[in-house]
Chains A and B, each alone.
Chain A
Amino acid sequence: AQKVTQAQTEISVVEKEDVTLDCVYETRDTTYYLFWYKQPPSGELVFLIRRNSFDEQNEISGRYSWNFQKSTSSFNFTITASQVVDSAVYFCALSDGGGSEKLVFGKGTKLTVNP
């Protein structure tokens, strides 16, 4: 069975600090996809990134970066120089590569960035 664990329930930082959100996953599939979504107070899930299991290259997009390590089954998300607008709940999710597109989400990490 697939499982995603986000051990950090809540994180609070001061603006401009760097913050890393942890994600550990479990799957028996050799082909799978990993995701990060952002859920602001408005409630809508906003897609941030998708990674497939064959691509372990780290990715950077502006202040966001992702570190995918198959050896430790982790897909961590770092926000550099955090801003108040980054305050939200962040979800890591996993999907198999068989085309079902069923997303299995972690419980989320609530990030609060204080001014």
Chain B
Amino acid sequence: EAGVVQSPRYKIIEKKQPVAFWCNPISGHNTLYWYLQNLGQGPELLIRYENEEAVDDSQLPKDRFSAERLKGVDSTLKIQPAELGDSAVYLCASSSSYGGSYNEQFFGPGTRLTVL
């Protein structure tokens, strides 16, 4: 079974440029998460989707960050414009909310963003 797929794996851009990250969750997983991981820190949740609905976006900086999951499958996270402080790893995870008392999150390899 294929895991969570993210692309690109690495991205280098200049500040003020836009950037987008793509995530394809494990087949059948209806819940999708985007996490931000700064160097030397643990991941922090940016947004969580249940199908196509964003059910928790309280940590998403909405002035420059946006996300979408139009058909409830794959998702795109965008930053416009990027700032130096956005340099980090962006992780995507997915889980299935059907059945079970707790739904494990499976993580992708992440996209490492460098803003120059």
Contact = CB atoms under 8 A, between A and B. Distances in A.
Interface of A: 4, 33, 37, 42-47, 50, 52, 91, 93, 95, 100-103, 105-108
19 contacts: A33-B102, A37-B107, A42-B109, A43-B89, A43-B110, A46-B107, A47-B104, A47-B105, A50-B102, A91-B43, A95-B102, A101-B31, A101-B102, A102-B45, A102-B56, A105-B43, A105-B44, A107-B42, A108-B41
A103 B45 contact: yes
Indicate the member of A42, A100, A101, A105 with the most B CB atoms within 10 Å.
Answer: A101
Given A100-B56, A101-B31, A102-B48, A107 B110 contact: no
B108 interface: yes
Contact of B110 (A4, A44, A105): A44
Interface in B19-52: 31, 40-45, 48
A21 B91 CA distance: 24
Contacts, number: 53
Leading 9 A-B pairs by shortest Cβ distance: A105-B42, A45-B107, A44-B109, A43-B110, A43-B109, A91-B42, A105-B43, A106-B42, A102-B45
B65 interface: no
A44 B102 contact: no
B112 A43 contact: yes
A64 to B, nearest CB: 17
B1 to A, nearest CB: 15
B80 interface: no
B103 interface: yes
Contact of A50 (B89, B104, B112): B104
A3 B48 CA distance: 19
Contacts of A47: 104-106
